[in-house]
A and B are shown apart, each in its own frame.
Chain A
Amino acid sequence: MEVGLTHYLILSGILFSIGLFGALSKRNAVGILMCIEIMLNAVNIAVVAFSRYLAPETVLLTGHVFALFVIVVAAAEAAVGLAIVITYFKSRATVDVEQGDSMKG
């Protein structure tokens, strides 16, 4: 069976669901950030697959530009997110997100 758009979109959906499950079910803040990176990667795979397969015999580059912007935002998100995690660890000596409920009413 020839690999086509469907295969890439299913792969993207599987990776996104794995990342979402990790982000929802982990207690370690660094682990949650890692799962968010997997989700962003899955979205990128879908965007690039569309740009490859929507027009026959042609690679549309708008999807590539979008994927580049997603990579830029992911880099910024990782930098700020990990800085927040390290600040949190310095004040609480833990990275368990369930301990961070001091603003709960």
Chain B
Amino acid sequence: MTGSDYAFWVFAILGVISALGVVALKNLFRAALLLVLCFFAAAGIYGSLNADFLAVAQVLVYMGAISVLIIFAVMLTRDLVRGNPFNRSWPAALVVCGFLMAGVIYVVVETTWPTIDAGQMAAASVPEGQATTGGVARAIFDKDSGFLLPFEISAMLILAAVLGAVALVREK
């Protein structure tokens, strides 16, 4: 096993256990802290997949920003008595999600995933083991990459979301 294989197993087990904790724990604040751990495990998974820029973006955006938002929301809507209980239909949800998980694993194991020739996508790829930051920038910002307009639209989406959030929680 190589180093990235060890990293995969460590972070996969960490991520699954912390995700189970997020769902199972009754104390919502502890669930939020385990969610941060789950985000960290995902960042480690990105690292083992040679996605260094995404790993850093995951730490910055998810662990830095989104988890602070969630912890603030937990604090502002404190419901210590009730905590984070299950609703009445949780056995049905468990059955549905169990079948979904089994189906996904069956399909993934049974499918022979094709490999494609990297030459036809040479513009938007880097060799294995190299830093991807410059390549991601080229993939987004090159004139003929096709991601420039979606990038600008996502900036508008963030602006609209921030304005909407401020307008929603403002004191009237």
Chain A interface residues (CB < 8 Å from chain B): 2-3, 5-11, 13-22, 24-31, 33-35, 37-38, 41, 44-45, 48-49, 51-62, 64-65, 67-69, 71-80, 82-87, 89, 94-98
Contacts and interface: CB of A to CB of B under 8 A. Distances in A.
A54 B116 contact: yes
Given A38-B22, A86-B73, A72 B157 contact: yes
B150 A69 contact: yes
A11 B15 contact: yes
Nearest to A18: B19
Nearest to A63: B51
- If over half of A's interface residues share one DSSP class (helix, strand or loop), that class is named, otherwise mixed; here it is helix
Given A76-B158, A83-B168, A61 B108 contact: no
Given A8-B49, A30-B73, A73-B154, 5 more contacts: A13-B104, A21-B97, A31-B31, A71-B61, A80-B168
Interface string B4-15: 110011001001
Contacts of B113: 5-6, 53-54
Report whether over half of chain B's contact residues are helix, strand or loop; otherwise say mixed.
Answer: helix
A89 B78 CA distance: 10
A33 B97 CA distance: 17
Contacts, number: 266
A84 to B, nearest CB: 6
A58 B23 contact: no
A33 B82 CA distance: 17
A6 B109 CA distance: 6
B49 to A, nearest CB: 5
Nearest to B124: A61
A30 B77 CA distance: 9
Contacts of B160: 76
Given A2-B5, A5-B113, A60 B124 contact: yes
Contact of A87 (B42, B66, B127, B169): B169
22 contacts: A3-B5, A6-B109, A7-B8, A9-B104, A13-B108, A24-B93, A24-B96, A31-B84, A38-B35, A48-B45, A55-B115, A61-B124, A62-B139, A64-B132, A65-B147, A68-B136, A75-B65, A75-B66, A76-B160, A86-B76, A86-B169, A95-B77
Contacts of A83: 164-166, 168-169
Contacts of A51: 51
Given A58-B125, A65-B147, A86-B77, A49 B12 contact: no
